[in-house]
Protein backbone atom coordinates (compact mmCIF):
# COMPACT_ATOMS: atom_id res chain seq x y z
CA UNK A 1 0.00 0.00 0.00
CA UNK A 2 1.38 3.41 -0.94
CA UNK A 3 1.94 6.16 1.61
CA UNK A 4 -0.78 8.22 -0.03
CA UNK A 5 -3.33 5.46 0.51
CA UNK A 6 -2.21 5.05 4.13
CA UNK A 7 -2.57 8.79 4.75
CA UNK A 8 -6.06 8.75 3.27
CA UNK A 9 -7.08 5.76 5.37
CA UNK A 10 -5.57 7.27 8.52
CA UNK A 11 -7.47 10.47 7.80
CA UNK A 12 -10.78 8.69 7.40
CA UNK A 13 -10.21 6.80 10.65
CA UNK A 14 -9.40 10.02 12.53
CA UNK A 15 -12.49 11.69 11.08
CA UNK A 16 -14.67 8.78 12.17
CA UNK A 17 -13.14 8.79 15.63
CA UNK A 18 -13.71 12.54 15.83
CA UNK A 19 -17.32 12.07 14.80
CA UNK A 20 -17.85 9.38 17.44
CA UNK A 21 -16.24 11.36 20.24
CA UNK A 22 -17.35 14.82 19.17
CA UNK A 23 -13.69 15.89 18.91
CA UNK A 24 -13.60 18.63 16.27
CA UNK A 25 -9.80 18.87 16.37
CA UNK A 26 -9.39 15.15 15.63
CA UNK A 27 -11.93 15.46 12.82
CA UNK A 28 -9.95 18.38 11.31
CA UNK A 29 -6.67 16.45 11.63
CA UNK A 30 -8.29 13.55 9.83
CA UNK A 31 -9.50 15.77 7.02
CA UNK A 32 -6.00 17.25 6.68
CA UNK A 33 -4.41 13.77 6.58
CA UNK A 34 -6.89 12.59 3.96
CA UNK A 35 -6.32 15.70 1.84
CA UNK A 36 -2.54 15.28 2.09
CA UNK A 37 -2.89 11.66 0.97
CA UNK A 38 -4.94 12.71 -2.04
CA UNK A 39 -2.34 15.34 -2.94
CA UNK A 40 0.47 12.78 -2.69
CA UNK A 41 -1.52 10.42 -4.90
CA UNK A 42 -1.91 13.14 -7.52
CA UNK A 43 1.80 13.91 -7.43
CA UNK A 44 2.62 10.20 -7.76
CA UNK A 45 0.38 9.92 -10.82
CA UNK A 46 1.97 13.00 -12.37
CA UNK A 47 5.47 11.67 -11.74
CA UNK A 48 4.53 8.31 -13.29
CA UNK A 49 3.16 10.06 -16.37
CA UNK A 50 6.33 12.14 -16.68
CA UNK A 51 8.53 9.04 -16.38
CA UNK A 52 6.48 7.37 -19.11
CA UNK A 53 6.90 10.35 -21.40
CA UNK A 54 10.66 10.45 -20.78
CA UNK A 55 10.91 6.74 -21.51
CA UNK A 56 9.07 7.20 -24.82
CA UNK A 57 11.46 9.95 -25.85
CA UNK A 58 14.45 7.81 -24.89
CA UNK A 59 13.05 4.90 -26.91
CA UNK A 60 12.56 7.11 -29.98
CA UNK A 61 16.07 8.49 -29.71
CA UNK A 62 17.53 5.01 -29.27
CA UNK A 63 15.64 3.70 -32.33
CA UNK A 64 17.15 6.43 -34.53
CA UNK A 65 20.71 5.30 -33.90
pTM over 0.85: no
Contact assessment for residue 35 and residue 11, using Cβ atoms and an 8 Å cutoff:
yes
Q: How confident is the model at residue 5 (pLDDT cuts 50, 70, 90)?
A: very high
- Given this model, what pLDDT does residue 29 score? 98
Q: What is the pLDDT of residues 7-61, one digit of tens each?
A: 999 999 999 999 999 999 999 999 999 999 999 999 999 999 999 999 999 998 8
Gap between the Cα atoms of 65 and 7, Å rounded: 45
Contact assessment for residue 7 and residue 33, using Cβ atoms and an 8 Å cutoff:
yes
Gap between the Cα atoms of 31 and 25, Å rounded: 10
- Given this model, what pLDDT does residue 65 score? 62
Amino acid sequence: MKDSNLDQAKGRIKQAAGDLTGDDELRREGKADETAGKAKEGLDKGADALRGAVDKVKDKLTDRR
